[in-house]
Structure 1
Amino acid sequence: MLPAVNRKLLLGLEVLGSWPIVMLAGVLHTASFAPGLAWPLQLLALAMLAHASWDETPGRAARQGLLFGLGWLGSGLWWLYISLHDFGHLPGLLACAAVLLLALFLSLYYAAALALAAWLRDRRPAMQALIWASCWLVAELARAQFLTGFPWIASGYAHALGPLSHWAPWIGVYGLCALVGLFAAGVAAALRGSGRVLMLVLLLIVGGRLFLPLQFTEATGKLRVSLLQPNVPQDQKFDAELMESNLEKLVTQIESARGQLVVTPESVVPLPMDWLLERYPQQVERLKRAADKHPLLLGTFLGNERVGFVNSLLALGTAQPYDYGKRHLLPFGETIPTGFAWFVHALGIPMDDQGRGQHQRALEIAGQRVRPLICYEDLFGEDFVESVQSGPDSATLLLNVSNLAWFGPAMVQDQHLQFSQMRALEFQRPFIRSTNTGATAVINHYGRVIARLPAEMRDLLEVEVEGRRGATPYARWLAAVGLWPLWLLALLPLVLAWRRRRAR
């Protein structure tokens, strides 16, 4: 009886394998991320893809992966159009083409993964589910690490809240990618008469929610912070005629802050510090006086034309000199990939080829240790995991400063906030964010947003944050061996399937 029911379900779901529906499933996948945080949509969309590609040839499965990726990444990264067209001054059609080409390139990871799953197909539904999930994980890891990595809205991020979030301190965001891939493949296998994989995943989800230990860090005291949101429009940020008035507003806002640490957004002073001292000495003097009362982390540029300008946070008013420079640079915006200088220069992006910061030290302030990250860096927990180990030098608080005015207020701010929520979950550290136009917010060590300023509003967020120390299981194994355990977890079933295929 059950096989007959499953055959009817399969026949009824055949339409899900049509290519337009697969692309729409990719769009549905995007809808599961911030701002909606509708994580069930993510599971549904991925299950639709697993079902659609299950019995396909490698070529057709590759097309399914490509179309799903285009729907997902095209709709999830559309805001890049704003930076390319509105600020890079590319014609509309060229800007659209550039976004689609990026989505197409990133979709190739998923096309290759699904083609491999089809080529290694096993007649046993449970084994095929494991192969499919392993291929999905390989695609996510490859996108995160190859060519400097671009893991924006990786599938695990949809679960920064919800029942799967309890696994984040144990397996991190890419472990969650594996888990949701296994769920999707389990649904496809269940429709074909084998519910064992799906039952296993459901047990892991429920068991994680009910039985996993979740407390790995302890409180270290509180810190009062003032987080600035200046709301300077991007088309005014580098305008020489408006530079002085914008700087005057910034200094006035800093002078009104009352925290034990005042934080400004990324590049809030869009000039190298030496130039600022030379051109606006009065404002610099006021900044120093304000910092003598309330220590300040100022977003600026350090370095010079010879060694490269470094996107930095400079501490003023602290007991010890301190500056932090961005280390993981954004391709096309802060570092120029080989062969693309003509394209980047045509966009007219200021500071388009920057130097890199050199250290990961935390700033010690009022008994807490604050680990800065600048914009894009908080997507790469593996880069700064050494900062969140146990010990006296461990960071007790994570900080991100950003300027997302390049991309408008819709979607991108909430997506970036979601990434910070995942880092807070993985490392059980509170996470504070100071941004130019949003999302300026405070996240507790459970990944929940406890305070946030409205987007595109000039304001100051005054809040008290409780620092944490200690290391999660994920932080410990990630610091010891990196992401290799997940690579091995993904590749082992594929090697076994390949050997079985050769033996046929």
Structure 2
Amino acid sequence: MFMRLTHGWRGDLLALVAGVATPLAFAPIAWWPLAVLTTAVLLAVWLFSAPRRAAWRGFLYGLGLFSVGISWVFISIHYHGYVDLGLALLLTLLLIVVMAMFPLLLGALLGRLFPQGFETRATRYKLLLVFPAAWALMEWTRGWFLTGFPWLSLGYSQTDSPLAGLAPLVGVYGVSWAVVFSAALLVGLLLDKAGRIFYSAMLVLLWLVAGVLNDVDWTRPHGAPLDVALLQGNIPQDLKWHPDVRRPTIELYTELTRQHWDADLIVWPETALPAFYYETESFLNDLEAEAQQYDTDMLIGMLTLDKDKRRYFNTMMSIGTQRGQYHKNHLVPFTEYLPLKSILGGLVSFMQVPMSDFSKGGADQAPLKVADQYAGISICFEDAFGEEIINALPEATLLVNVSNDAWFDDSWAPPQHLQMARMRALETGRPMLRATNTGISAVIDEKGRIIERAPQFQVASISATIQPRTGMTVYAVTANWLVVVVALLLIGVSFWRLRRAPVE
């Protein structure tokens, strides 16, 4: 029965359906058990596939996964980048196809390097050692190749599951490993009758241990709790940079700020101040003087310009007790900067993206001192890269991410982005303050739990009390290298063992 289901076009269809269903495991739907079930389907059809068929099924899975999960890029390209409908669809499809190449290559490599079909010894190596390790390496590679696009890594779907307890040890890719390992155990339960007690015991043990780890405090309180306020101006993307909207925007954020002078720290979103620093310096001086009267520090998103070198930056500035700046370093290619500009400049001139030639701020920027604490700053999708967020540790006692997800309207992108910010809090054992232009603004504790959350597409402000924390999680010390090294070792040992004593 199982062989008939995975044979030929039926197996291909199962791979496609598994990919289509997997985004439902992520926010906003957040049916997190589905990530294990759909991955189990893919592993099962891979298990009985020749290399070419495994590659094709990997591609079908990726096509379904990214067509459903990141189709929101079309919104930013067409509606806010003003690219023609046909070309916007083509660019969206191109990104989806490029992303689908990762599971395609993984399927091809696994099919080529490891024996096809079901033999108890070989299957246990493939299911329990090779598949989970190779998947983690695939997601890790996707997180840095061509500057990285780590969206929809399976670990993110588990922020509300017991497996979240693994994040402070092994990060999001380690949690993905645990998802695939769980899926592999389910496949083993189905196919290996002699080993069902073993597979069941391993599955229960994994989830019990991960659940217990959720209660471990990897970091400790540092200083007194802080009262914080996050502001959400809800400025439509199409109006954000219009000259006539600049003054009303500044007045709106000033009014919201004055409602929260009782806070220790007030955070404005990414480029909430729609102007360069030199254009608003007088306003900021007056605002800082007012903040100092109430002993309040502020973090404000704006643009800054290096007039001598003619470079400009996407910046967060601290005012109040101490002035400081953080310039965004991990820029989005083709929207915030243009790779190979001398060659590609004419090819992408159709992208009418305002402020699309930023400079990098540098990877060695120090945390900003605010409210007698140190804040590790990230701007926009910089919080998708856990290995970069931990660069602010151990000095940073809290994390701050500011973003402008108005580019994606009411799609799944903002909830997915919020889920990634929650993972960064889990990995570092630090509270995360997330202020956005149109939502979703949220205060997140060190366990990745949302304390306060603002409604989307409304002018709003949220207040909460957070506890800054110090200390280093295992992940903060080892970054992704623990997962990478162990994965490579397991794959290498499995390949050597199976080649040394092949299945007869």
TM-score, normalised via structure 2 length: 0.90
2:44 is matched with which residue?
A: 51
- Deviation of 1:502 after TM superposition, in Å, equals 5.7
Partners of 1:213 and 1:117 in 2: CA distance: 37
Distance in 1, matches of 2:413 and 2:105, equals 27
**Is 1:239–2:242 an aligned residue pair?**
yes
Residue 398 of structure 1: aligned partner:
399
CA distance in 1, matches of 2:174, 2:418: 20
CA distance in 2, matches of 1:113, 1:439: 34
Equivalent of residue 366 in structure 1, options 347, 368, 371? 371
1:354 aligns with 2:358: yes
CA separation in 1, counterparts of 2:494 and 2:211?
32
Shift, 1:15, TM fit: 8.6
Measure, in 1, the Cα distance between the counterparts of 2:185 and 2:102.
Answer: 21
After superposition, the C-alpha distances for 1:277-323 in whole angstroms (9 at most, x for unaligned) are 4xxx5x445433433333221101113363521111112222x3211
Which residue type is aligned with residue 399 of structure 2? Answer: L
Query: How much has 1:404 moved relative to structure 2?
Result: 0.5
| Equivalent residues of 1:307, 1:355 under 8 A apart | no
Q: Does 2:113 align with 1:128? A: no
| Cα pair 2:162 2:214 within 8 Å, conserved | no
Alpha carbons of structure 1 residues 461 and 337: separation in structure 2 relative to 1, 3 Å: same
Please name the residue that 1:4 is paired with: none
Distance change >3 Å, CA 165–CA 494, structure 1 → 2: same
Shift of the 198–290 alpha-carbon distance from structure 1 to 2, 3 Å rule, reads: farther
1:344–1:352 contact (8 Å) kept in structure 2: no
Query: 2:380 maps to which residue?
Result: 375
Shift of 1:491: 2.0
Matched-pair contact (CA < 8 Å) for 2:165–2:212:
no
**Correspondences of 1:317-328 after superposition (within 5 Å):** 317-318=320-321, 320-328=322-330
Letter of the 2:393 partner, please give it. Answer: V
Distance in 2 of aligned mates of 1:78 and 1:169: 30
Q: Which residue of 1 aligns with 2:210?
A: 208
Secondary structure, in 3 states, of the residue corresponding to 2:346?
Answer: helix
Count of residues in Structure 1 that have an aligned counterpart in Structure 2? 484
Match of 1:79 in 2: 72
Aligned to 1:236, the other structure's residue is in SS state coil
Displacement of 1:448 in angstroms is 0.7
Measure the CA separation in 2 of the matches of 1:379 and 1:498: 32
State the Cα RMSD in Å.
2.2
Write the mapping of 1:333-482 to structure 2, written as runs, cut at 5 A: 333-338=335-340, 339-358=343-362, 359-389=364-394, 394-478=395-479
Q: Is the CA contact 1:66–1:107 (under 8 Å) kept in the aligned structure 2?
A: yes
Matches within 5 A, 1:214-229: 214-220=216-222, 221-229=224-232
Question: Aligned match of 1:98 in 91, 98, 122?
Answer: 91
Letter of the 1:271 counterpart:
A
Q: Residue 439 of structure 2 contacts residue 455 of structure 2 at CA under 8 Å; is this kept in 1?
A: yes
Q: Identify the residue that residue 297 of structure 2 maps to in structure 1.
A: 295
Q: Which residue pairs with 2:152 in the alignment?
A: 153
Counterpart mapping for 1:27-38 below 5 A: 27-38=20-31
Question: Which segments of 5 or more consecutive residues in structure 1 lack a partner in the other structure?
Answer: 1-7
Using the alignment, how far apart are the partners of 1:369 and 1:477 within structure 2?
22
Q: 1:92 to 1:460 in 2, by over 3 A?
A: same
With 286-295 and 433-442 compared, the bigger mean Cα shift is at 286-295
The offset of 1:190, in angstroms, is 3.0
Identity %: 32
1:9 deviates by: 4.4
Question: Is the 1:409–1:437 Cα contact (8 Å) retained in structure 2?
Answer: no
The Cα offsets for residues 326-356 of structure 1, whole Å up to 9 and x where unpaired, read as 1111122212223543344321112212112
Q: Over residues 191-237 of structure 1, what are the superposed CA-to-partner deviations in whole Å (9 max), with x where a residue is unaligned? A: 32144456424322222323676112122221111111000000001
8 A Cα contact 2:20 2:68, kept in partner: yes
- Confirm or deny: 8 A CA contact 1:373 1:400 kept in the other structure: yes
User: What is the alpha-carbon distance in structure 2 between the residues aligned to residue 498 and residue 89 of structure 1?
Assistant: 50
Q: 1:399 and 1:67 mapped to 2: Cα distance?
A: 37
1:157/1:418 contact within 8 Å kept: yes
Change (3 A) 1:211 1:155: closer
2:101 to 108, 111, 118: 108
Structure 2 segments unaligned to the other structure (5+ residues) = none
Q: Is the deviation greater in 116-125 or in 284-293?
A: 284-293
1:230 aligns with 2:239: no
Give 1:138's aligned residue. Answer: 137
Tell me the amino acid that sits aligned with residue 493 of structure 2: L
CA distance in 2, matches of 1:404, 1:62: 34
For residues 146-171 of structure 1, give each alpha carbon's deviation from its aligned partner in whole angstroms, at most 9, with x where no partner exists: 22111012111011111111111111
Cα separation, 2, equivalents of 1:67 and 1:59: 12
Q: Is the 8 A contact 2:114 2:495 kept in 1?
A: no
2:268 is the counterpart of 1:264? yes
Deviates more, 1:126-135 or 1:184-193: 184-193
SS of equivalent to 2:354: coil
The alignment partner of 2:468 has SS state of strand
**In structure 1, distance between residues paired with 2:200 and 2:41:** 14
The alpha-carbon distance between structure 1 residues 410 and 211, as it changes in their structure 2 partners (threshold 3 A), is closer
Displacement after TM superposition at 1:250 (Å): 2.4
Match of 1:254 in 2: 257
Q: Which amino acid aligns with 1:356?
A: K
Q: Counterparts of 1:227 and 1:248 in 2: how far apart (Å)?
A: 16
The 2-side partners of 1:386 and 1:125 are apart by 40
SS of aligned partner of 2:146: helix
Paired with 1:352 and 1:136, the residues of 2 have a C-alpha distance of 34
